[in-house]
Amino acid sequence: MASQFFSRLNMAVPPIGATLGAAWTTVRSALPDSCVNSQQDEQLHFAKFGRKPNDTELSNLQNSGTGGSLQRVDSFGDDESCGGGEFGSSRHKISEWQAGWNVTNAIQGMFVVSLPYAVLHGGYWAITAMIGVAYICCYTGKILVDCLYVTNEEGQLVRVRDTYVSIAEECFGRRVGARIVNTAQLIELLMTCILYVVLCGDLMVGTFPDGAIDTRSWMMICGILLLPCSFLKNLHHVSTLSFWCTMAHVVINVMIMGYCLLQAATWGWSQVSLRINIFTFPISLGIIVFSYTSQIFLPALEGNMNDPSKFHCMLNWSHVAAAIFKSLFGYVGFLTWQANTQEVITNNLPTQGFKGVVNFILVVKALLSYPLPYFATLDLLERAFFKGRPDTTFPSMWALDGGLKVWGLALRVALVVFTTAMAISIPHFAILMGFIGSFTGTMLSFIWPCYFHLKLKGPTLDWGTVAYDCFVIFLGVLFGVIGIYYSFRALIEAFQIGLPF
């Protein structure tokens, strides 16, 4: 009887191996241009992305014989400062994993601690936005890098541009384009650096609320700890710091999510709203957009990768992981603390000891997150002002032996001091993040990549891609205008109330 039972059970239930295989095939087909395809498929995807179905302009590219990397022709000559994007010399190549650490650092950085606060004001719409914005930013990142390339007469993909600014110069004109995009990037990067210092101060004063050191003093101490960033020379060193930043991120997530799961019996399921508060949701949307902004770094990361054909794979998985984690973290965090959710979620932790440990690790994470936007800011300033005469107004800050000149190091130190001083003056973390995300975030992540794509690649795009690019531009304008108005309004009200210290 038992043997007949198990025989019938095997007929009714498919084998576990076959079931898992079918499930994996389903999941893989659902992923955006799956990264688990062969190298040849990835190259073909890179060639056909955003093109008409019969346009396979890169399908004749051959493997280089060194691991099947994508054959790419840089049209910049032998100048070692070219071809690597904003982060300078292409001699310091990075793997797709190192590029992924940097993207993860950018889109899963410190700002996740404000995602439950975004759900407080946006409800289920904020959670939906966390997933939708991830998809849009992944798409715009791909088309932005696509704008770096043209196809030559031999059908080879030629990288004729190396930075976000060079794309803008092609579309807006050399003088206007460089100024507009450089300004937007500098604002975005500097505000990111400033927000990291602000967050360090908030976390430390939350750890020692009754201590003799106030928030401003903690910010100054953190600024002193960031001074060694002045000696960073290449993206490889920044990638190493981003790796350890990601490890700290994992530890923090396990600790906070573990605590939230232990409080599942008290979760307020009915507290998550389906309605939108027009006065507060735009701030939440700005926070979400700001947390996904990585387009500034993508041309540099792709240009410095050992195998650029793996860029799409890296971008897909980093954004899929970010969307899953952010939506869960924001949702579970709000369910745990509900209406008492604070701007920085760690300040909701119950005991001072637990809060202190979590906040300290978050401060370490913030300090490790700072070098990426700081390094990108340095390089933008160097390209704009310090390439040497006659290209720029000022001479190069690098000596002939590759070392920094004394005055160049002083300028780097001054940048750390400047971000620290601004952090002391601008204390409202979440509102300011929403304002900046609504302003520069929508321009850099939504509007400009799609506009550049339409202008540079328009004749080769099918109608569906053109329509989607126009839709993303519309969303960017809508989010930007509404978010700027209400975030600025909230910022004025916050300063009228007074500083929180």
pLDDT values of the chain reduced to their tens digit, one per residue, 501 residues? 444 544 543 444 445 445 445 544 544 444 444 454 434 444 444 443 444 333 333 333 333 333 333 444 544 444 444 445 554 444 568 888 888 888 987 887 666 788 898 888 888 999 999 999 999 999 999 999 999 998 888 878 889 998 888 899 999 888 788 888 888 888 888 888 888 898 888 888 878 878 888 888 999 999 999 999 988 887 888 888 888 988 888 898 889 999 999 999 999 998 888 877 777 777 677 778 777 888 888 998 898 898 888 999 999 999 999 999 899 999 999 999 988 888 778 778 888 888 888 889 989 998 998 998 899 898 888 888 888 777 777 888 888 777 888 888 899 999 999 999 988 886 565 566 667 667 777 888 899 999 999 999 988 899 999 999 999 999 999 888 887 887 777 777 766 655 544
- Cα torsion 139, 141, 144, 145 to 10°: value is -110
Q: 383, 86 in Cβ contact below 8 A? A: yes
Provide the token pair at 24: 């994996």
Query: How far apart are the C-alpha atoms of 405 and 396, rounded to whole Å?
Result: 9
Q: Phi and psi at residue 149, in whole multiples of 5°? A: -115, 150
What span, in angstroms and rounded, lies between the C-alpha atoms of 39 and 37? 7
Would you say 486 and 283 are in contact if contact means Cβ atoms under 8 Å apart?
Answer: yes
DSSP-based three-state secondary structure for 360: helix
**135: its two tokens:** 């998809």
The closest of 324, 348, 353, 326 to 337, measured between CA atoms, is 348
| Distance between CA atoms of residues 283 and 431, nearest Å | 7
Please identify which residue in the block is written with the tokens 């499930």. Answer: 23
CB half-sphere exposure, 79, CA atoms < 13 A: 11
| pLDDT on residue 496 | 63
Location of structure tokens 């979590």:
358
What radius of gyration do the chain's Cα atoms show? 24
Q: Which H or E run contains 43?
A: helix 39-48
Query: Given 3-state DSSP classes, what are the helix, strand and coil percentages for the chain, each rounded to the nearest 5?
Result: 70, 0, 25
Count Cβ atoms below 10 Å from residue 57 Cβ, excluding itself.
Answer: 17
* Domain formed by 89-497, architecture: Up-down Bundle (1.20)
Kindly state the helix (H) or strand (E) to which residue 126 belongs, with its residue range. helix 115-146
Mapped onto helix, strand or coil, the DSSP state of residue 307 is coil
- The burial class, CB within 10 Å (0-12 / 13-18 / 19+), for 210 is exposed
Q: Structure tokens of 362?
A: 């978050």
Give ∠ CA 398-190-123 in degrees, rounded to 5: 150
Distance of CA 276 to the CA centre of its chain: 26
| Predicted model pTM | 0.74
Query: Distance (Å, rounded) from C-alpha 382 to C-alpha 377?
Result: 9
Bond prior to 427 in cis (omega within 30° of 0):
no
Can you tell me which residue has the tokens 């992981």? 321
